[in-house]
Structure 1
Amino acid sequence: MKNKKIETLLIGASDHIDLPEFELYNLACRIDTGAATSAIHCHNVQLVEKMGLPAVSFMLLDPEHPSYQDREYYSFDFKEKIIKNSFGQIEKRFSIKTILILFGRKFKTEMTLADRESMKYPVLLGRRLLRRGFIVDVRLKDLSYRQKIANFSCE
């Protein structure tokens, strides 16, 4: 079996991502090598039945956030996980699979649905995503966002 070469991307302490499945673009995110799983801020998370199937419903971001859409989202691709939060406490959370875009590349990734209301960044990117070819330099920030803006300016 051949070793698949992974392109290495340099990322800073923070950046911006797109979540096309939810029509959310340029969402600020914190890069956290201490977190295993990525997370997104949401509220009204509940297990529901939709079209006869189990689903998790949730609302993303807070009404004060500029990208807030006052919209209920559903995911059928979910699971319940036990997570140790940033305060070291154990809690149950739902996680979903979604596509995120970073450095113009699409990544299918798992994100927990978390209450990040008291956090500066609504999205946290953890090791499971970062191990797919990212090197973190905490002295830098917004590298993919700057690249996107530069590419947009050149068109």
Structure 2
Amino acid sequence: MEIIGRSDKVDFPDLYLEDLAVKIDTGAYTSSIHCHDIKEIEIKGIKFLHFKTLDPGYLKYQNKVIEVKEYTEKNIKSSFGEVEKRFIIKTQVILFNKKYPIELSLSNRSEMKFPVLIGRKFLNKKFMVDTSKKDESFHLKNNLTE
């Protein structure tokens, strides 16, 4: 079991997103990613979920359009205690140089410091959290590439 800190930077290779800052949150059940302009579209009978990333701290990803074929909708309780219907996508995340499957709810996190929140559903039985540490996976990645 890997020890992860209170925050880190991860890659989502299927979404072509690298070095995104994540908050590790054992109080949250689900994981989420910041996006906007979320809509279902249909092209030639095939449904897609279309959304845009938007984060001024990541100019190369600002308003990047992402489309996925596989998605679901679930009721998720927000950090404010309100139940919201959100789209959920399945993708992969790279942490400690390993790929893991992850479910991400799509939500507007523009008021939050981190564009990605990693919740306990993903962390369970894979990671232990040490809140005195941060960027453990990111440091390992950079040491291996030097």
TM class, shorter-chain normalised?
A: over 0.9
Q: Which amino acid aligns with 2:36?
A: H
Deviation of 1:141 after TM superposition, in Å, equals 0.5
Of 126, 131, 147, 2:119 maps to 126
Q: Secondary structure at the match of 2:14?
A: helix
- For these two proteins, the number of residue pairs brought into alignment is 146
TM-score (norm 2): 0.93
Does residue 102 of structure 2 align to residue 142 of structure 1? no
Does residue 65 of structure 2 align to residue 72 of structure 1? yes
Q: Which amino acid aligns with 1:45?
A: I
Q: Secondary structure at the match of 2:121?
A: helix
Alpha carbons 2:89, 2:103 under 8 Å: kept: yes
Unaligned runs of 5+ in 2: none
Of 4, 9, 12, 2:2 maps to 9
Q: CA RMSD in A?
A: 1.4
Once the two structures are superposed, residues 121-145 of structure 1 have per-residue CA deviations (whole angstroms, 9 ceiling, x without a partner) of: 0001111210141000111111001
Q: Report the identity percentage.
A: 44
Q: Find the aligned partners of 1:62 and 1:69 in 2 and give their Cα distance.
A: 6
Q: Hey, which bits of structure 1, 4+ residues long, moved more than 6 A?
A: none
Match of 2:37 in 1: 44
Match of 2:52 in 1: 59
Does residue 11 of structure 2 align to residue 18 of structure 1? yes
Q: Label 1:69 to 1:117 Cα distance change in 2 as closer, same or farther (>3 A).
A: closer
Q: Find the aligned partners of 2:18 and 2:57 in 1 and give their Cα distance.
A: 16
Q: Label 1:39 to 1:49 Cα distance change in 2 as closer, same or farther (>3 A).
A: same
Once the two structures are superposed, residues 64-115 of structure 1 have per-residue CA deviations (whole angstroms, 9 ceiling, x without a partner) of: 5333153321111101110111111111110100011111000111000010
Of 78, 86, 94, 1:85 maps to 78
Q: Find the aligned partners of 2:101 and 2:48 in 1 and give their Cα distance.
A: 19
Does residue 23 of structure 2 align to residue 34 of structure 1? no
Deviation of 1:50 after TM superposition, in Å, equals 3.1
